[in-house]
């Protein structure tokens, strides 16, 4: 894999994707690319097919025709967990955390996807490694650990815990790491979803309306967070209704309407596109309140 900070190279290609459910055409010949390191906005009125597009990318649906390629490899038709391992993570429009797990555990489920310990490995812990200097536990001095190394499972669990805590700090909810996800306030839950997705170490992070239900100051924070996510090397695909947020944070925008792609380009250009204005921006109620 090449340097993640480099932009320009195509990361994800949605190649003439059509998706039909019986007679309903949810996506019709949608065709766009995401470049490494950019923040791409995917906008459109309700029912335009944005979330369907996400679902097709993350393996929930298989396109009727067309192909989705990630790093040049075809991913349409793959199982969701395999696509996740290739490097695409997402959040959900209607929050879908694991409610009976703590915030930390939610993120741990994400980080687990990058680990290798198998089920027998967890049970018998026969695969032993010498931990690196920074992974040394306090009791490393014990000669037993010195002679036989440590179980990879234990090391991975420790690393996962560290990383999960780091991510919770990164999105700013570390203060309630040990609370059940169901008991967290709404804004925390939205951020937790982002942290959980980041736990899977995605190259491409897809955010499905992360600002839904946020007040203006929370939206400001979210914009800053999205920029920080990009700055640590992730590419971001953002579905959002709030035009101010989309215009403020994205590099490029793709506009969908009734499953059709009607425009693509930099925010300012898209905002001036008469088709887009007619379809979407022309309705001030929608733009102001959604």
Residues that bind other proteins (CB under 8 A): 58-60, 79-81, 84-85, 89-90, 92, 96-101, 105, 108-110, 112-115, 117, 119, 122-123, 125, 153, 156-157, 160, 182, 196-197, 199-200
Cβ proximity to other proteins, 117 vs 235, nearer residue: 117
| Tokens 């459109």, residue located | 44
Token pair in block for residue 25? 């055409």
- What's the closest the beta carbon of residue 171 comes to other proteins, in angstroms? 16
Cβ proximity to other proteins, 43 vs 181, nearer residue: 181
Cα–Cα distances in angstroms (integers) from residue 106 to residues 70, 93, 136, 227, 285, in the given order: 26, 17, 25, 23, 36
- What's the closest the beta carbon of residue 204 comes to other proteins, in angstroms? 13
- Report the alpha-carbon distance of residue 222 to residue 191 in Å, rounded: 9
- What's the closest the beta carbon of residue 262 comes to other proteins, in angstroms? 28
Q: Is the four-CA dihedral 90, 91, 93, 98 of positive or negative sign?
A: positive
Helix, strand, or coil here: 103? helix
Cβ proximity to other proteins, 182 vs 228, nearer residue: 182
Cβ proximity to other proteins, 104 vs 245, nearer residue: 104
- What's the closest the beta carbon of residue 96 comes to other proteins, in angstroms? 4
- What's the closest the beta carbon of residue 15 comes to other proteins, in angstroms? 22
Asked if residue 253 lies in contact with residue 267, where contact means CB atoms within 8 angstroms, the answer is yes
Asked if residue 71 lies in contact with residue 225, where contact means CB atoms within 8 angstroms, the answer is no
Helix, strand, or coil here: 133? helix
Cβ proximity to other proteins, 122 vs 136, nearer residue: 122
């Amino acid at each position: 894999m090449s340097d993640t900070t480099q932009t320009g190279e195509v990361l994800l290609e949605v190649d003439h994707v059509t998706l039909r459910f019986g007679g309903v055409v949810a996506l019709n010949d949608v065709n766009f690319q995401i470049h490494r390191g950019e923040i791409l906005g995917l906008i459109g009125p309700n029912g335009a097919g944005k979330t369907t597009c996400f679902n097709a990318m993350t393996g929930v649906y298989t396109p009727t025709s067309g192909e989705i390629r990630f790093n040049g490899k075809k991913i349409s038709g793959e199982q969701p967990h395999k696509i996740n391992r290739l490097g695409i993570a997402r959040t959900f429009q209607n929050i879908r955390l694991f409610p009976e797990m703590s915030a930390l555990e939610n993120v741990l489920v994400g980080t687990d996807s990058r680990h290798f310990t198998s089920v027998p490995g967890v049970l018998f812990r026969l695969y032993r490694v010498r931990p690196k200097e920074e992974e040394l536990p306090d009791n490393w001095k014990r000669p037993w650990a010195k002679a036989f190394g440590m179980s990879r499972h234990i090391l991975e669990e420790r690393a996962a815990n560290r990383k999960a805590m780091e991510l919770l700090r990164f999105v700013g909810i570390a203060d309630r790491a040990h609370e059940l996800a169901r008991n967290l306030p709404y804004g925390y839950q939205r951020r937790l979803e982002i942290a959980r997705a980041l736990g899977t170490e995605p190259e491409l992070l897809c955010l499905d309306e992360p600002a839904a239900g946020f007040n203006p100051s929370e939206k400001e924070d979210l914009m800053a967070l999205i920029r920080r996510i990009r700055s640590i090397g992730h590419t971001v695909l953002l579905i959002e209704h709030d035009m101010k947020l989309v215009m403020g944070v994205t590099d490029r925008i793709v506009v969908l309407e009734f499953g059709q792609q009607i425009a693509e380009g930099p925010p300012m250009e898209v905002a001036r596109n008469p088709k887009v204005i007619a379809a979407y921006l022309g309705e001030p109620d929608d733009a102001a309140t959604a």
